[in-house]
Copies of this chain bind each other. A is one copy, B any other.
Amino acid sequence: MRRPTQVDVARLAGVSRATVSYVISGRARDDISIAEETRRRVLEVVEQLGYQPNASAQSLRRGHTKTIGLLVPDLHNPHYWQIVRGVEEEARARGYDLLFSSTSLDPERERDCVRALLRRRMDGLILLLTYPTLALAEAEALMRPHSPIVLLGGGAPEVDHVLPGYREGADQLMAHLLDLGHRRIGLILGVATPELGSERLTAYRSALEERGLPVEERLIERCGSALDDGYRAAIRLLQQQPRPTALVVINDLLAIGALRAVADLGLRAPTEVSVASFDDIEIAAYLNPPLTTVWVNAEELGRRAASVLFARLLDPECPPQQVRLPAHLVVRGSTGPASVAQ
């Protein structure tokens, strides 16, 4: 049996299609006036038939889809989920749905996803891009007019974006470690592309320099973005002689791997090795030891991205917004004074 259409409803209710449209869209009350009797009859038939307006047809006619597209790099990292949650919450509150893809850190797929979102005529895009240059050009060029796009995490200056203020947090984190007496601090930089971790790397470098400490390249370990990459990077770092007394990890997920590495090497955190990282995912506070980390409100990141997007949707001409959310250090049990004897 076919899904009922507006025509079916109209016929059964003995009215015209326009009338059905009016009562369904709710305009039947203020804008247009419909006899209460007619209204009721239509609603009855709608109920009886289980009629649901076809959203494709509505989009086609109205010129908007009431959907926003969301692109995140990687579904393994809880940090990104938090962002998705924020976006979803805000979007749903405004009656928008979410079309959502993860790019698995693959540049080609990233571009394909953007294309798909464009074909589907999303009203707006929230993009957390790994390779901004490729995909963004595509999106910008094609999504006229006025590209309702917001970037999560910097990139092009002339487009809306919202990003975490990692720099301040990273400065606090480094100061914390340095104050605890740490001098050999390893850095686990597990990012797909250099610019992604640049703020945190810069903070690391300049904190050391400011205190007249050398920046040793071999203390900077680059790796992939999976849990196990963090684990292996930590192993490599901790096997160096002399051993670093602290590990700064680019995000909490990798830090969980690093914590495991510490334990597997028979070391103890924080007495022998301190571990600290970024994001403050929910789990961080529950780990053993609880993780010292730089808090950024990822859910808020998502919500703000959405609200910036809606602002642009409302006023396409408004100047590009660049929101930078605060981040600050949360000291927990995984960091402590540098061990004297190595």
Contact = CB atoms under 8 A, between A and B. Distances in A.
Given A56-B121, A101-B97, A121-B56, A50 B141 contact: yes
A100 B1 CA distance: 27
B97 A98 contact: no
B60 A227 contact: no
A15 interface: no
B88 A75 contact: yes
Interface stretch (A216-224, A254-262, A307-315): A254-262
Interface string A266-292: 000000000000000011011111100
A1 B115 CA distance: 19
A202 interface: no
A50 B140 CA distance: 11
Nearest to A76: B282
Given A98-B101, A257-B286, A52 B118 contact: yes
A283 B227 contact: yes
Contacts of A213: none
Interface of A: 1-3, 50, 52-57, 59-60, 65, 67, 75-76, 78, 81, 84-85, 88, 92, 97-102, 115-116, 118-121, 141-142, 144-145, 227, 231, 256-257, 259-260, 263, 282-283, 285-290
27 contacts: A1-B144, A50-B142, A53-B119, A54-B60, A54-B119, A56-B59, A56-B60, A56-B120, A60-B60, A67-B99, A75-B85, A76-B81, A76-B85, A76-B282, A81-B81, A97-B120, A98-B99, A98-B100, A99-B100, A100-B100, A227-B286, A256-B283, A256-B287, A257-B286, A260-B285, A260-B288, A288-B288
